[in-house]
Structure 1
Amino acid sequence: MGAAAPGGGRVRTGGDPLTRQVVLDAAVDAGTLFAFLADPARRPSWQSSLRRVADVVPGQGGVLGAGTTWTDVTVVPGIRPRMRTTVADPGVRWAEEGRCGPVRAALTLDFLPRAGGCRVEAVFEVSGAGVGPFLTAIAGRPIAADLRRAVELAGG
Structure 2
Amino acid sequence: MPFAASPTTTFDYLVDPENRPRWQSSLRRIEDLSPVGDRAGGTGTSWRDITLVPWVRPHLEVVECAAPLRWREIGRWWFVDASLSLAVSALPDGRTEVRARAYLTVPLVLAASALALKMLAPSALRADLHLAASIVGDY
TM-score (norm 1): 0.80
- The aligned counterpart of 1:45 is 22
Equivalent position amino acid for 1:141 in 2: S
* Partners of 1:28 and 1:113 in 2: CA distance: 9
Q: Is the 8 A contact 1:51 1:73 kept in 2?
A: yes
Moved over 2 A (4+): 60-64, 129-137
Report the RMSD for the aligned CA atoms in angstroms: 1.3
- The aligned counterpart of 1:118 is 96
Structure richer in strand, relative to its length: 1
* Partners of 2:118 and 2:10 in 1: CA distance: 24
Deviations 1:26-60 (A, max 9, x none): 21111101100111111100000000000000123
Shift of 1:83: 0.4
Q: State which drifts further: 53-62 or 132-141.
A: 132-141
* Partners of 1:27 and 1:63 in 2: CA distance: 21
Deviations 1:86-131 (A, max 9, x none): 1111110111110111011001000011122111111111111333
* Partners of 1:66 and 1:137 in 2: CA distance: 29
- Is 1:155 aligned with 2:133? no
| Matched ranges for 1:11-50 at <5 A | 24-50=1-27
TM-score (norm 2): 0.89
Shift of 1:146: 0.3
Q: Is the 8 A contact 2:26 2:51 kept in 1?
A: yes
- The aligned counterpart of 1:138 is 120
Percent identity between the two aligned chains = 35
Listed as ranges, the gaps of 5+ residues in structure 2 are none
Q: State which drifts further: 67-76 or 131-140.
A: 131-140
| SS across alignment from 1:154 | helix
Shift of 1:149: 0.6
Structure richer in helix, relative to its length: 2
Shift of 1:72: 0.2
* Partners of 2:44 and 2:119 in 1: CA distance: 28
